[in-house]
Structure 1
Amino acid sequence: MPDQAPRVQLAEALNLRRGIDAGKVADAVIAAGWRPPARVIEDPVQLDMLPAGSIVAVGEGVATTRFNDGWYVTGEYWDLRSDSHELIERCGPVAVLHTPGNREALS
């Protein structure tokens, strides 16, 4: 079953106008491809709470993947490892692109 959070967020925003079925409009907009903005993390403690397999964007065109022993740059430079504190310190806020088991996290 798909995550209902985006539908609820959108339906609540649409309920500002009376006389429309916000749920039906939200379903149509989501079916057309709308997704909520990615979650942004600025605190290394919050970043530490993401499970292994999570992927975050750390800059333009750069993503890192969490493994049990830290964060690794995705792609060509797998040997570049950081812990959560180093990642936030070097790159600033990160955007969560994916968490395992949450297919709706991609945006």
Structure 2
Amino acid sequence: FSYLALRRAKTRGIKTAKVVRYGLGALISRSKDIALNIKTLRRYPFLFRVIRAERIYVWTVNSKDDLKWLKNREIYGVITDRPKRARRIISGRKFGHE
């Protein structure tokens, strides 16, 4: 990612999130928004209790089992290649942006 591009986006009011792929220490940073890989959350489910971000996004959530697992977790949104399936499985669940 380009630091300058992110900085320009923030000054224009475009929302950004920290995407965490590796390094669990990054999870306790001061970021308001954080995006985590579903594989990381499946491996370390305790992360839901220790993340200090205000909003948690989970990516890339495509399997039915993963969507069902996330249904009652405190997340802000999911990033998926199958939005219709995700909406059907998680129907009734209010995400932060709705």
**Fold match (TM-score > 0.5):** no
Query: TM-score by structure 1 length?
Result: 0.25
* More helix by percentage: 2
Name the structure, 1 or 2, with higher relative contact order (CA <8 Å, separation 6+): 1
* More strand by percentage: 1
Query: TM-score by structure 2 length?
Result: 0.26
Q: Between Structure 1 and Structure 2, whose CA radius of gyration is higher?
A: 1
